[in-house]
Amino acid sequence: MTVNRVGTSFDEEVEFAVQLSRPVNLQLPSTRQFNVSILPAREDEIVLPQLQLPSVIAVPEPSEERGEVEYEFWFPLSQPAPVDGSVIVRTFDGSAIRDVNFEQIESERIGFAAGDDHIRVPLTILYEGRLLTPKELQIQFASAEEIILPANRSVTISIDPDAIGLPEVQIENEYELVRPPLGEETTITVVLPFTTAAIMPGRIDLVVNQGGALIPRDFNNVPLTVEFDRGDREAVFEFTLNGVDTDAERTFSIVLSSATNALLPQSASERTIVFTIVSED
């Protein structure tokens, strides 16, 4: 193959010719030359990220007690998205069957925002009845806007009885907090241990129920969401406890209302943390 470059500056369009010759065990066509043009990059041209997909993700079948488990799969982009965009996601049966082993995603357009470095795809896996061998389905991506799809646009989800599942969140349901001196504040740290390491990033949503203790008089700055990363063995959140002019016990509670990529206790009482604020003796 012979390459001849035509042009003098990389600030301008560059064209070169490619000529084929000396074939080995094949026959060349009568036209053996073609031209290639290289266009200069514009300073204002947006470079789109590429969606990066694994070939297989393995998850276990849910327990009979839970019946179903919703996962949120995070598929990385090669770089943060420069602008808002979206992609159509759909599922296809394999040995795993829709409405038996999983809830179908039917041509759902999933969006992402400028600055995001992942696309998040929710998928619910259903309990069928103690699988003995893996069952598979496909997640397929199509019609992307503002990202580039790879040549292989599908991911296999393997429902595998030997796969590692989502961690269970362990909750201590009662805390006694000592009120700081009047006019001062202290930071309270709450640790939520996991039974196993997190297999993917996720979050836990919190809801505050005020009782005798009120925001912002007695406490403040409870986050709405606690995030954790893959490999974490706990989720941690903090809030502020205020010193006020009273010796009375006051209580409030924080409910772990929902979780993504972690399993919460099923009853509301087991997901509730009661805090009692007391004064020093």
Domain that holds residue 136: 56-159
Whether 164 is in a domain gets the answer: no
Q: Phi first, then psi: give them for residue 131, nearest 5 degrees.
A: -60, 140
Same domain, 18 and 76: no
Same domain, 61 and 8: no
Same domain, 28 and 80: no
- d(CA 29, CA 222) in angstroms, rounded, equals 72
Q: What is the pLDDT along the chain (281 residues), one digit of tens a residue?
A: 444 545 555 567 778 888 888 887 777 787 878 888 776 656 566 789 999 999 999 999 999 999 999 999 999 999 999 999 999 999 999 999 999 999 999 999 999 999 999 999 999 999 998 788 999 999 999 999 999 999 999 999 999 999 999 999 999 999 999 999 999 999 999 999 999 999 999 999 999 999 999 999 999 999 999 999 999 999 999 999 999 999 999 999 999 999 999 999 999 999 999 999 999 86
Whether 165 is in a domain gets the answer: no
- d(CA 272, CA 270) in angstroms, rounded, equals 6
- d(CA 206, CA 125) in angstroms, rounded, equals 24
Contact yes or no for 53/35 (Cβ under 8 A)? no
- d(CA 276, CA 237) in angstroms, rounded, equals 18
Whether 273 is in a domain gets the answer: yes
- Indicate the pTM of the whole model: 0.77
Same domain, 108 and 196: no
CATH of the domain at 113: 2.60.40.2030
DSSP letter at 270 equals G
Q: What is the dihedral of CA 262, 263, 269, 274, to 10 degrees?
A: -30
Whether 169 is in a domain gets the answer: no
Overall number of domains in the chain: 3
Last residue of a domain, one of 136, 159, 182: 159
Which helix H or strand E contains 143, and what residues bound it?
A: strand 135-145
Residue 12, SS3? Answer: coil
